[in-house]
Amino acid sequence: MTDQGQKQLGKTLRNIADQLRGAMNADDFRDYMLAFLFLRYLSDNYEQAARKELGTDYPDSNAVGNGGRSSLPVWYEQNSGDISAFEKQMRLKAHYVIRPEHLWASIAHMARTQNEELLNTLQAGFKYIENESFQSTFFGLFSEINLGSENLGKTYANRNAKHCVIITNIADGLAGSQLTATHLAMPMSISLASSPPLGRARRRASFTRLSESPISFRRSSP
């Protein structure tokens, strides 16, 4: 990420903090924002690995007319019989799997179009990444994020609408920027000192694995 991109990220986070003022404390806000930045980082790296794995079979996002969303949903629709083999290869090469509907590009598209299923999809995505993406690599990664908190809205519709705005702001603020483990770790270093011991250890381990590779997480040693 360039200096300009880093400044834009800081501006975006400050704007969202203003929107959420009173809804959560500083530590909760950092955890909350890191969850979205983490999803963006994992998604970008996963799609990069998918393009390499599929080669010329990876659909052209401009040609398929999918409104700027990830091309992976198109490939899944057109190659249902090959999905299992593809995901097996991705677990071996990228070391994790993210379903197309849970990729950041898909989530951001839902936010921009104010899809009423955004929050349900996001919660399902976090759960899948934690529990099914790759053994215990991401277990508990998003456990401290409460997307259903009434502080974010008294009803599901209110919370969904607020997340549509927040995620759209993040997506617009990060447009054209590439996140790295270093940029993700900077806000982590601020929040570690005041985070609960379990969450602190879990996130430190996650970012340690993340920093080992520019493309993917490494599998933890037994």
> Whole-model pTM above 0.95?
no
Q: Give the model's pLDDT for residue 104.
A: 93
Residues with Cβ within 8 Å of residue 39, at least 6 apart in sequence: 102, 104, 107, 125, 126, 129
Domain boundaries, the chain: 3-211
Q: What is the dihedral of CA 190, 16, 37, 29, to 10 degrees?
A: 40
- The token pair at 110 is 């839902």
Q: Give the model's pLDDT for residue 189.
A: 40
Q: What is the pLDDT along the chain (222 residues), one digit of tens a residue?
A: 566 656 766 777 777 777 777 777 777 777 788 888 889 988 989 999 999 999 989 887 665 555 556 788 889 988 999 999 999 999 888 889 999 999 999 999 999 999 999 999 999 999 998 888 876 567 777 877 888 888 888 999 999 999 999 899 888 887 766 766 555 554 444 333 344 444 445 555 554 444 443 333 333 333
Structural contact between residues 101 and 125, judged by C-beta atoms closer than 8 angstroms: yes
Structural contact between residues 177 and 1, judged by C-beta atoms closer than 8 angstroms: yes
Residues recorded for the chain:
222
CATH class of 3-211: mainly alpha
Q: Give the model's pLDDT for residue 137.
A: 65
**Tens of pLDDT along 63-78?**
555 555 678 888 998 8
Q: Give the model's pLDDT for residue 79.
A: 93
Residues with Cβ within 8 Å of residue 35, at least 6 apart in sequence: 126, 142, 145
Q: Give the model's pLDDT for residue 210.
A: 47
Round to whole Å and give the CA distance between 20 and 30.
12
Structural contact between residues 163 and 147, judged by C-beta atoms closer than 8 angstroms: yes
